[in-house]
């Protein structure tokens, strides 16, 4: 982030704090429960958002060397991601072109070739079909070169590997991230590795889990036993950077900055900065590390959440230090996720038909309106 922007963001928070105010929307808004429980709505989100937009499948350190591969699920489909011997990243539908068997089981490793467990059609890690037993006798007239693995759009950027299942023809990756690219590059995530991670399944709609992180109204209450004491009460700001969102979540030390020279102000020393990369990825930038939060919808009421604490590869801190940080983050986010599951349950049973977003929860309304804009206008720009 540019230092001038850091100063502006700090000024904004300090002004709200000294006025005893908060970052306010014009009026409260309603959020119908249908957004979180409708199966039809969920299908539309998958088709119009998750398969159309790039999603992170891995950090570059997970596919660091030539011939590394990994399998991941994107919008419900199994995807094979490889780094070929030329160093290029490739993504394929993880399905054999003969009769559709899943080519590679869940996992990761290093391989040049992948042989199908059914009849041994064998593919290079560039996707090319290189051998198929008795092919000439069994498949006369079939063009072998048209039976390579189905390739998907894959891209390395900001330290991650992104895959798009079915982008619109004129989709422009660089334009999609243009307004947030500088901030993401400044985090130097390509020079990091994953120190600690965990994955869990949560029984809540993906949007409820995102909503839990982008307001601070709940900090002092829901997180009273974890991070609540270290943060300002109900004081946070947010700004859309294109389709994505940057939230500033100030810690209670932020007021100390008034007595320090402005040119030494550093936002991350006194606030967490949360980037919500539309649709389902969040990067929580803390003082000396980032947490990559991957929100992957499995069904309307079930979501896989992966939390990864990442820090510079050459950081001095011990593994124990990162483990402790990761544990605090996980405990805190689990408080949000458990509450989110209770909201989901009340919505699913019909006990709750609408929710209210207060003026200081404007980020939630903004996020949901962004989702709805994508459902109406599939290009999402």
Report in angstroms the alpha-carbon separations of 215 from 196, 219, 237, 365. 26, 8, 8, 11
Stretch that binds Fe ion, among 67-75, 113-121, 294-302, 331-339 (CB under 5 A): 331-339
3-state secondary structure of 170: coil
Residues 114-143 that bind ligand FES (CB under 6 A): 116, 118-121
In the complex with ligand FES, which residue's Cβ is closer, 98 or 270?
98
102 binds ligand FES (CB under 6 A): no
Distance of alpha carbon 296 from alpha carbon 302, whole angstroms: 9
Residue 336 binding result from ligand FES, Fe ion, none, given CB thresholds of 5 to 8 Å by partner type: Fe ion
Distance CA 325, CA 323 (A): 5
Phi and psi, residue 228, nearest 5°: -45, -50
Give the length of the chain: 381
Shortest CB 100 distance to ligand FES, Å: 6
CB 310 within 8 A of CB 288: no
Residue 279, token pair as written in the block:
């649709």
- Greatest C-alpha distance within the chain: 82
| Minimum distance from residue 380 beta carbon to ligand FES (Å) | 35
Residue 118 CB, nearest approach to ligand FES (Å): 4
Q: Please choose which of ligand FES, Fe ion, none residue 121 contacts, taking the beta carbon within 5 to 8 angstroms, the exact cut-off set by kind.
A: ligand FES
DSSP state of 149: P
Q: Does 341 bind Fe ion (CB under 5 A)?
A: no
99 scored as a contact of ligand FES (CB under 6 A): yes
- Residue 336 is a binding residue for Fe ion (CB under 5 A): yes
* Piece of 76-84, 126-134, 334-342, 344-352 that binds Fe ion (CB under 5 A): 334-342
The secondary structure of residue 269, as a DSSP letter, is: G
Candidates 75-83, 111-119, 145-153, 315-323 — which segment interacts with ligand FES by CB under 6 A? 111-119
Residues making contact with Fe ion (CB under 5 A): 336
């Amino acid at each position: 982030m540019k230092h001038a922007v850091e100063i502006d963001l700090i000024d904004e928070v300090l002004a709200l704090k000294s006025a005893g105010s908060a970052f306010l929307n014009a009026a409260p808004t309603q959020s119908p429960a249908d957004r979180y429980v409708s199966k039809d709505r969920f299908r539309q989100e998958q088709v119009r958002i998750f398969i159309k937009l790039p999603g992170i499948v891995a950090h570059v350190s997970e596919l660091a060397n030539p011939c590394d591969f990994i399998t991941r699920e994107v919008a419900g489909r199994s995807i094979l991601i490889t780094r070929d011997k030329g160093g290029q990243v490739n993504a394929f539908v993880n399905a054999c072109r003969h009769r559709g068997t899943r080519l590679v089981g869940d996992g990761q490793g290093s391989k040049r070739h992948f042989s199908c467990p059914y009849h041994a059609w064998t593919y290079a890690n560039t996707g090319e079909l290189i051998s198929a037993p008795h092919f000439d006798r069994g498949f006369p007239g079939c063009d072998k070169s048209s039976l390579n693995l189905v390739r998907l759009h894959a891209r390395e950027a900001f330290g991650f590997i992104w895959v798009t299942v079915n982008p619109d023809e004129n989709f422009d990756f660089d334009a999609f991230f243009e307004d947030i690219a500088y901030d993401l590059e400044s985090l130097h995530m390509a020079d990091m590795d994953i120190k600690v991670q965990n994955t869990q399944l949560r029984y809540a709609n993906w949007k409820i889990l995102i909503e839990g992180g982008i307001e601070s109204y709940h900090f002092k209450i829901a997180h009273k036993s974890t991070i609540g004491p270290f943060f300002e009460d109900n004081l946070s700001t947010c700004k859309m950077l294109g389709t994505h969102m940057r939230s500033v979540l100030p810690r209670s030390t932020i007021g100390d900055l008034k007595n320090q020279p402005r040119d030494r102000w550093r936002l991350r020393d006194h606030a967490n900065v949360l980037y919500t990369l539309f649709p389902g990825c969040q990067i929580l930038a803390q003082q000396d590390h980032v947490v990559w939060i991957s929100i992957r919808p499995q069904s309307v009421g079930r979501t896989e959440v992966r939390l990864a604490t990442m820090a510079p590869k050459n950081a001095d801190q011990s593994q124990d230090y990162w483990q402790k940080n990761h544990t605090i983050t996980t405990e805190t986010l689990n408080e949000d996720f458990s509450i989110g599951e209770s909201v989901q349950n009340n919505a699913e049973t019909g006990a709750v038909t609408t929710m209210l977003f207060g003026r200081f929860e404007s980020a939630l309304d903004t996020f949901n309106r962004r989702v709805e804009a994508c459902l109406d206008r599939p290009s999402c720009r």
